[in-house]
């Protein structure tokens, strides 16, 4: 959901008179503000479905399709995301399960240790890893880094980035938003690169358009310039890749 300043200003105004419930404040200020806490909580939430899969109806996949997916997973394990984490249904409501820690570790291992930059003519670019993709599709991070490598970028990613603050904006929690913004500023201040890439447009708009409301000029001047992925790719030649959907999602 893109940020809309006038709506968020109204939410803040309402929240001053009618504060968010305690559980929303707890979620914004202590769970989403810390990536490790977020992963722990979503892991607990998925645990009942892992231990007792019969409590939810799983999406059926044909045997032939599953064998094809398994073959792809073996050939490209670091770029395959949530192959064996199916969507669950409780009644008519759809719930995608979080990705496994194995999937996340594979993606992050590539980012940390296995980047292959043939021609790093564009230098180093930062990469903001948003919380929604981290929870459900961390393989997309590795796919994006692979793409950037092929375009001539070395990628530096903060694997434990905080939530950008868009969730706090949507709930009207000013204190949580400021906490998340300052955590981001502390993490990326005086980085060794001039630009940081965003593949989540809501996070991009939040950092670019809303952080100036809570960070001072000195803090802002120490941060790398936020760049949206599609805007960056539009300025570059086509990559020498022909990825399949499973390699980048």
What confidence tens digit (pLDDT) does each residue in 55-67 have? 555 544 445 555 5
The count of domains in the chain is 1
Compute the mean pLDDT over every residue in the chain, rounded to the nearest whole number. Answer: 77
Report CA torsion sign: 150, 152, 154, 158.
negative
Lowest mean pLDDT among 41-55, 62-76, 118-132: 62-76
In the predicted structure, residue 68 carries a pLDDT above the cut 70: no
* Terminal CA-CA length for the chain: 19
Cβ count near 202 (within 10 Å): 18
- Distance, C-alpha 106 to centroid of its chain: 16
Most confident of 20-29, 109-118, 175-184: 175-184
In this prediction, residue 1 has a pLDDT band, given cuts at 50, 70 and 90, of: very low
In this prediction, residue 188 has a pLDDT band, given cuts at 50, 70 and 90, of: very high
What is the pLDDT at residue 84? 45
- Beta-carbon contacts of 234 under 8 Å, excluding residues fewer than 6 positions away, are none
Domain that includes residue 114, residue range: 5-248
- Among left, alpha and beta (phi > 0; psi -120 to 50; other), residue 156 is beta
- Beta-carbon contacts of 124 under 8 Å, excluding residues fewer than 6 positions away, are 153, 154, 155, 156, 192, 193
Q: Higher confidence at residue 249 or residue 109?
A: 109
CA pair distance 35, 37, nearest whole angstrom:
5
> Which phi and psi (to 5°) does residue 39 adopt?
-65, -40
In the predicted structure, residue 117 carries a pLDDT above the cut 80: no
In the predicted structure, residue 29 carries a pLDDT above the cut 60: yes
In this prediction, residue 115 has a pLDDT band, given cuts at 50, 70 and 90, of: confident
Closest alpha carbon to 4 in 227, 209, 213, 216: 209
In the predicted structure, residue 3 carries a pLDDT above the cut 60: no
Beta strands in 70-218 (DSSP E): 87-90, 93-96, 124-128, 154-157, 195-198
Cβ pair 207, 164 in contact under 8 A: yes
> Which phi and psi (to 5°) does residue 121 adopt?
-70, -20
What is the pLDDT at residue 9? 65
Q: Name the residue with tokens 């980012």.
A: 111
CA pair distance 123, 102, nearest whole angstrom:
30
CA pair distance 130, 237, nearest whole angstrom:
26
Report the percentage of the chain scoring pLDDT > 90.
Answer: 28
Q: Higher confidence at residue 89 or residue 173?
A: 173
Tokens of 240: 């020498």
CA pair distance 131, 20, nearest whole angstrom:
21
Closest alpha carbon to 196 in 151, 237, 236, 148: 148
Q: Higher confidence at residue 220 or residue 62?
A: 220
Report the percentage of the chain scoring pLDDT > 70.
Answer: 67
């Amino acid at each position: 959901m893109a940020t809309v300043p006038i709506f968020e200003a109204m939410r803040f105004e309402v929240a001053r008179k009618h504060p968010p419930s305690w559980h929303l404040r707890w979620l914004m200020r202590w769970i989403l503000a810390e990536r490790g806490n977020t992963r722990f909580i979503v892991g607990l939430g998925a645990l009942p479905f892992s231990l007792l899969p019969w409590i939810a109806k799983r999406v059926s996949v044909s045997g032939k399709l599953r064998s094809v997916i398994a073959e792809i997973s073996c050939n490209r394990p670091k770029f395959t995301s949530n192959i064996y984490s199916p969507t669950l249904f409780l009644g008519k409501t759809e719930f995608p399960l979080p990705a496994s820690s194995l999937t996340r570790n594979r993606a992050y291992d590539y980012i940390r240790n296995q980047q292959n930059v043939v021609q790093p003519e564009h230098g180093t670019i930062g990469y903001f890893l948003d919380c929604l993709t981290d929870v459900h599709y961390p393989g997309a991070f590795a796919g994006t880094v692979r793409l950037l490598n092929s375009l001539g970028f070395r990628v530096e990613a903060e694997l434990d980035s905080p939530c950008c603050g868009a969730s706090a904006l949507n709930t009207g929690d000013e204190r949580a938003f400021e906490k998340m913004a300052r955590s981001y500023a502390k993490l990326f201040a005086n980085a060794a690169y001039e630009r940081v890439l965003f593949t989540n447009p809501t996070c991009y708009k939040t950092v670019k358009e809303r952080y100036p409301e809570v960070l001072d000029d000195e803090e802002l001047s120490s941060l790398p310039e936020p760049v949206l992925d599609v805007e960056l790719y539009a300025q570059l030649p086509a990559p020498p890749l022909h990825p399949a959907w499973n390699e980048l999602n």
